[in-house]
Structures are given as structure tokens and as C-alpha cells.
Amino acid sequence: MNIGFNLLDTGNSFFEIKKSGRTQIEFELLKNPAFRVFVQHQDTALFDKLADRLVNVAHHFTPYLGLSQFTATLKNAVVCPVKQGSGLGGKISIQSAVNLSKLTANPPIEFSQTAHYYVDTMPIELSRDRVVTRYGEVLVDADGKAVSVYTDHWFETPDFGNILFL
């Protein structure tokens, strides 16, 4: 669905916005989007604190998807153990987005004739100053179904199946 938003025109300066300093931008939106987000962290105390806040919906700031008009509702937050899987580049069914640089074979993906895929360039790493330091080509099944890929390393979850971190 397409919808127009009147946004503040901050092209010159955020602090010198004129009364008519708005611009209408058209957005293409998904109806009732849902996302699965997987988080891994080396600091267990920090991870436990984050997990507790997500499970109990006790976040300090309201989560949103890019603009304040797109507030997110957190539902079904689950903390589950993961086990690292490894192999010799065999075919693995992955339930998450796939960073194409983590695939090993040629061809790296076994496509289904009935599936709908898309690939997009996405930021993979940010510096502390929120500057993108690494981009990647990321494959997603548009219907949220599993993707069969050839990879040496993946993570196994009891609740969601096999996943890859970007």
C-alpha cells in the first residue's frame, strides 16, 4: 500500500525549520509486517538484561521501524539456546535471512520454483558512531519460508530451526 507522509524538511538545518518547511514523501508499506530478530552477544550479563527487557516488554524507548510513525509492537519474545552446526558445505535449510557471503558452494542456493526471493544490499556492521563499516548482499524468502543453502557454519535453534547471523 502506498501512503504519503508530510516530513520536516531538514535538508539545510534541523534547527532552522520554516513554518512551511515540510515535504511530502510517498512510502510503500507492508500491511501487518512481522519480523523475527535473532540476537547473540558475548557478554552474558548484557544479553540477560536485554532478554529480560524484551520478554517483559520493558523497553526504555519505544521500538520503531525507521520513522516514529512506524512504532513496533513486541510479541512472542523467546530466549532459546543455540548450538553451532558445522559441516563440509552441505545443503542446509535456513529459517532466517541469508548473507550471501557466508555461502560456500557454486551454486550456493537451491531455489524452489514456487518461492519468491529477494536480495538487497544491507548494512552488516556499524561503528560506535553508527557509521556503516560493512555491507552485505542478503537473501530473504518473501513468504518467510526456509531457504536451502550450502554453507559450512550455521546455528541450530530448538524453536525456529537453523539460522544464520548476518
pLDDT tens digits for 77-93? 888 889 999 887 778 99
> Is there a single domain that holds both residue 49 and residue 92?
no
What domain range includes position 3? 1-31
Contacts of 99 (CB under 8 A, 6+ apart): 124, 136, 137, 138, 164, 166
Contacts of 10 (CB under 8 A, 6+ apart): 17
> Is there a single domain that holds both residue 86 and residue 70?
no
pTM exceeding the 0.85 threshold for the entire prediction: no
> Is there a single domain that holds both residue 104 and residue 115?
yes
In tens, the pLDDT along 116-141 reads 999 999 999 999 988 999 999 999 99
> Is there a single domain that holds both residue 157 and residue 117?
yes
Q: How far apart are CA 104 and CA 86, in angstroms?
A: 12
> Is there a single domain that holds both residue 23 and residue 44?
no
The DSSP symbol for 50 reads: H
Cα→Cα distances 91→10, 26, 117, 147, Å: 48, 41, 18, 10
Task: Read off the amino acid at residue 13.
Answer: S
What domain count does the chain have? 3
Residue 43: pLDDT above 90?
yes
Helix (H, G, I), strand (E, B) or coil at 11: coil
Place of cell 532459546: 80
> Is there a single domain that holds both residue 109 and residue 47?
no
pLDDT at 20: 57
